[in-house]
Amino acid sequence: MDKFRMIFQFFQSNQESFMNGICGIMALASTQMYSAFDFNCPCLPHYNLAYGLGILLVPPFILFLLGFVLNNNISMLAEEWRRPQGQRGKDPAVLRYMFCSMAQRAMIAPAVWVSVTLLDGKCITCAFCTSVPVETLGNASHPHLSQGEIQRILARIPCKEIYNGQQLIDNEVAVRYLRCISQALGWCFVLLMTMLAFLVRSLRPCFSQAAFLKSRYWSHYIDIERKLFDETCAEHARSFAKVCIQQFFEGMSMDLVAARCHLPRKAPADAGEAAEKLLGITDQGTMNMALKSWHRCKPPLHLHPPALPTGNGWAGEGQPPTHPSMPRRETAAYYSWV
């Protein structure tokens, strides 16, 4: 249990670890789905190809879309892409980084499905059974068989219980031939995906490491900023609801006092703290205006230090330093040429 708890805490440590865990779970789920899937080839000349390629390509496409849906950054990417310009510019490099990061993670489960399907060989056997070279593997000079009849017999190769073309070509020979081709394609696909991932991970820092670091940093910033904004809005909503409920009960108490029912209760001690967290936003219209302002014109990424004290001397105790220096400015700005 301790190991599972440590793994769970690692997945929750940051957004990338969480999404890596989700993609790993989806990859395992894809293999379990294929193992539990009941593959039934129609064994008809005009349907085998559609069924085999459909099982090979349609589930990976669904898993790819599901990977985007389960990724929390898809809504953040859409919001950042569609929001107005406002006081903060939109960097295309950050948007590209976010999209590529989500696409790479969403491709894991489809790649696993395609690899497992090709290595198993059932889809290729069903889809291309009518393309078996009878001249090489069987008896192409079988009498009294037209081309259409030969196609109908070859289409029954995946269905051993109804196959009746042993005189034309042996069922086991055709299945082994197609399965060997499918497994060769599967291992080539696995090798291609591995080499592509290796090149992306190893060669990317050699060309655009600085731009990559900037894009990753500001992508993380957008994610953290969104989480903090949601937490602040939730805290404000909680304080707003608490003050509204307290004012409601205080009004009810005053009405009961006027009716001489009982004395009003003392207000809770945390009423002042809840009112302070409202930050002056005490009505629905002002809050809606603040939310619209955040969406339309987010504040620029430039932090201004507090103004220096003015008046007759320094605000604190003691005298000003004997060696005055220029005030230190701490700024955070983002410039990208990517």
Residue pLDDT, tens place only, 313-336: 444 444 444 444 444 444 444 444
Mean pLDDT for 292-320 is 65
Confidence of residue 133 (pLDDT cuts 50, 70, 90): confident
Sequence-distant (6+) residues with CB within 8 A of 11 are 17, 18, 20, 21
User: What's the angle, vertex CA 118, arms to CA 113 and CA 119, rounded to 5?
Assistant: 100
Farthest-apart Cα atoms in the chain, separation: 115
pLDDT at residue 82 tops 60: yes
Sequence-distant (6+) residues with CB within 8 A of 306 are none
Tens of pLDDT, residues 175-192:
999 999 999 999 999 999
Mean pLDDT for 130-159 is 82
SS3 101: helix
The answer to whether residue 276 is domain-embedded is no
Question: Is the distance from CB of 223 to CB of 76 less than 8 angstroms?
Answer: yes
The answer to whether residue 109 is domain-embedded is yes
Q: How many domains does the chain have?
A: 1
Domain region containing 191? 1-83+90-208
State residue 116's pLDDT score.
92
The pTM (predicted TM-score) of the whole model is 0.71
State residue 330's pLDDT score.
44
Confidence of residue 257 (pLDDT cuts 50, 70, 90): low
| Average pLDDT of every residue of the chain | 79
Least confident stretch, 27-36, 95-104, 125-134, 315-324: 315-324
The answer to whether residue 116 is domain-embedded is yes
State residue 62's pLDDT score.
92
Confidence of residue 105 (pLDDT cuts 50, 70, 90): confident
Encode burial over 24-56: b for 16+ CB neighbours within 10 A, e otherwise. eebbeebeeebeeeeeebebebeebbebbeebb
The answer to whether residue 309 is domain-embedded is no
The answer to whether residue 139 is domain-embedded is yes
Question: Is the distance from CB of 50 to CB of 126 less than 8 angstroms?
Answer: no
The answer to whether residue 220 is domain-embedded is no
Tens of pLDDT, residues 62-77:
999 988 888 777 888 8
Q: Of 80-89, 169-178, 209-218, which has the strongest mean pLDDT?
A: 169-178
pLDDT at residue 267 tops 60: no
Mean pLDDT for 102-126 is 91
Q: Using CA atoms of 97, 8, 12, 78 in order, give the dihedral in degrees to the nearest 10.
A: 50
Encode burial over 203-240: b for 16+ CB neighbours within 10 A, e otherwise. eeeeeeeeeeebbeebbeebbeebeeeeeeeeebeebb
The answer to whether residue 246 is domain-embedded is no
The answer to whether residue 252 is domain-embedded is no
Question: Is the distance from CB of 296 to CB of 85 less than 8 angstroms?
Answer: no
- The kind and range of the H/E element at 78 are helix 73-82
